[in-house]
Chain A
Amino acid sequence: SQQGEEDPQALSIQEGENATMNCSYKTSINNLQWYRQNSGRGLVHLILIRSNEREKHSGRLRVTLDTSKKSSSLLITASRAADTASYFCATDLGGGRRALTFGSGTRLQVQP
């Protein structure tokens, strides 16, 4: 079963605007990861935030984690048309299991 939900399900913005995606999860986590998927292809790892971290940056990406609310957000600043993709949050299954469970995903469309 999926770990949680993401919102919005779809987001359309203009180039240069910021995009914010939210992810909720259900169980305790060791870390939370964000991935990007272009046109139904393989996933590309974007950023990982550990459970003891509250915020992390990587280039134009900013991720926050609120373990008390079991939620995370991904902010893409100054978006570009090339950012058009689906974005997924993921956590490990827990109990020592290394496989990932994914959120429902957000489809981002950046209009040039």
Chain B
Amino acid sequence: SAVISQKPSRDICQRGTSLTIQCQVDSQVTMMFWYRQQPGQSLTLIATANQGSEATYESGFVIDKFPISRPNLTFSTLTVSNMSPEDSSIYLCSVDMTGGAPGYGYTFGSGTRLTVV
């Protein structure tokens, strides 16, 4: 399975500012996924990031608020822009290494705990 290095692990940010979260994977992957986990809640998919194309966003999430970069097959960033306290959440990246034949699970980064004050 893959190993993902996600950073920062946590941050406290002022409202109106932006934070960029990075995920580095130790092997090449086609798709990377970004999730948000609001306090006490489950995970919600923000977008799917493919290398060389624009990310695909889920309903309720827009590129202006959550721009994503995917410059190569091992790296992606998620930016949370113009933050408000409602953006306080854990943000996680994930990859699927199963090659379309899942016998194993997905791998997740360790998460970024964001607090907006």
Judged by a CB distance under 8 angstroms, whether A40 is at the interface is yes
Judged by a CB distance under 8 angstroms, whether A28 is at the interface is no
Neighbouring B residues of A97 by C-beta, 8 Å? 48
Alpha-carbon separation in the docked complex, A109 to B109 (Å): 24
What's the dominant secondary structure at chain A's contact region? Answer: strand
Neighbouring B residues of A98 by C-beta, 8 Å? 31, 33, 48, 96, 100
Alpha-carbon separation in the docked complex, A31 to B1 (Å): 18
Cβ–Cβ contact A48 & B43, under 8 A: no
Cβ–Cβ contact B43 & A102, under 8 A: yes
Inter-chain CB contacts under 8 Å: number: 63
Query: Hey, what's the 0/1 contact readout for B79-117 against A, CB within 8 Å counting as 1?
Result: 000000000001010101000101111111111010000
Cβ–Cβ contact B96 & A101, under 8 A: no
In the complex, the chain B residue whose C-beta lies closest to that of A9 is B40
Judged by a CB distance under 8 angstroms, whether B22 is at the interface is no
Cβ–Cβ contact A101 & B105, under 8 A: no
In the complex, the chain B residue whose C-beta lies closest to that of A35 is B105
Q: Which residues of chain A have a CB within 8 Å of any CB of chain B?
A: 2, 30-31, 33, 35, 40-46, 48, 88, 92-93, 97-105
